Amino acid sequence: MKLDLTGLTTRPAQVWGGVRLVPLVRDEPITSLRLHAQLYGPAVGLVDVDPRTDYMSYIPHGFVATWTDDGMAAAAYGTEIMRQDALPCGCMPLRFHRRMAKRTDKNRLRFLPMNLAIQGYLALHFGGPQVVWEHWSQRAISRGLSPREEDAFVGADVRGLADALRIFEIHPGQCGMLVYVADALAAAFVVPHPDDYRALHATAIEDLYGELIFHYAMLSMPVQQFEAKLSGSHVRTVADLRAAANQQLVAWSQFHDGTMAAGLLDGQYDARRVYELGDFTLSRFLPSFQLKRENHIGELITDHRGRTAYLKTFRLSENQIRRGYLLTQLARYDWHLPSAAVGLGVTEAQLGLRIEAAGFGDLLREDILAHYRAEARKPSTMDSSPVMPTGSTPP
């Protein structure tokens, strides 16, 4: 699957320090699907994934999708202002969500933004080895990859993002944006309607961003501002000026979609359906885990023609990409280490140590790991020093 942003047009970016926000404007708003935020406060969310598994995360807000069966326009719910009557208590409150996506009414679905996508990544081959080969420990057989954890940063920790969201103007008809930090694509955010975007624009500060984006924000210099340069020799009338400005808009859109966002738009994704919302489908997707390339996870809502109504993405760090790639390759070879090592072009000992370095060492038997470490410490059988002929003396 590829991401389809048909109907969304790129507008010139706005820059604040190392943060670049690229507006996405819809040619025609989607009125039969609407989104609004549901605030949960400071409580830590605990989601019942299945009877034996719980997923814990800080959930600052959820999204509620409202749709109509007949395709007629639907109105978003307004903002609620609630008075806080009690001081925070010393304990950590828990808020239980029975499912990542829960139907709260006939045409209303509450889901937790980005938690759908992150749960999909954490659940990647979560059950561990499908075949009980001799290399795997009893822990791997009985518990699989439990527990799985990954690091992420809230948007408030990404330097410059809060100021950019506060200062930048919202374009007429804007239904989304692409967030760049040091010109590295950090996240994509798309909603069905401009009113939804105005209500949800500020929630980007509460979203999750990867380790790479956090470090880029801390270390990067200000990025270059986009400047349109019109040749005065061809501009004689207001119509000429309008035509030249439109050409610049087209040139910027082609450059952005073909170069800056190519890592996201050209990637192949494995999408899994989560829920049906009338004519719309809520899904989450995983990348193909190609090394040394951009890899994004995310969630989206598409209509019956496959066009994107809602999209939110998370860029994986290099370490997260390597872990996903390693798990995918192991599953491809039925978790048989000798076969996987041959497929990856490494020795079995090198693959075993790579599994340990990725944080999955507990899955292997300790005696197997000890053997791999011993193999790695053995001196090379090739002697790089030149061999002197018998009876000769060095110069």
Could you tell me if 173 and 26 are in contact, meaning their C-beta atoms sit under 8 angstroms apart?
A: yes
* Dist. CA 42–CA 55, nearest whole Å: 17
The tokens of 48 are what? Answer: 């019942």
The CA distance from 369 to 175, in Å, is 52
The tokens for 135 are 């290399």
Q: With beta carbons less than 8 A apart as the criterion, state whether 283 and 299 touch.
A: yes
Per-residue pLDDT 10s for the chain (395 aa) are: 899 888 999 998 999 999 999 999 998 999 888 887 765 555 545 455 555 555 555 455 566 666 666 555 444 444 444 445 543 333 334 444 445 556 656 677 766 777 778 888 888 888 888 888 899 998 888 888 877 888 889 999 999 999 999 999 899 999 999 999 999 999 999 999 999 999 889 989 988 899 999 999 999 889 988 777 777 777 888 888 888 888 888 888 888 888 899 999 999 999 999 888 888 898 999 999 999 999 999 999 998 888 899 999 999 999 999 999 999 999 999 999 999 999 999 999 999 999 999 999 999 999 999 999 998 888 755 444 444 444 444 43
Cβ pair 208, 5 in contact under 8 A:
no
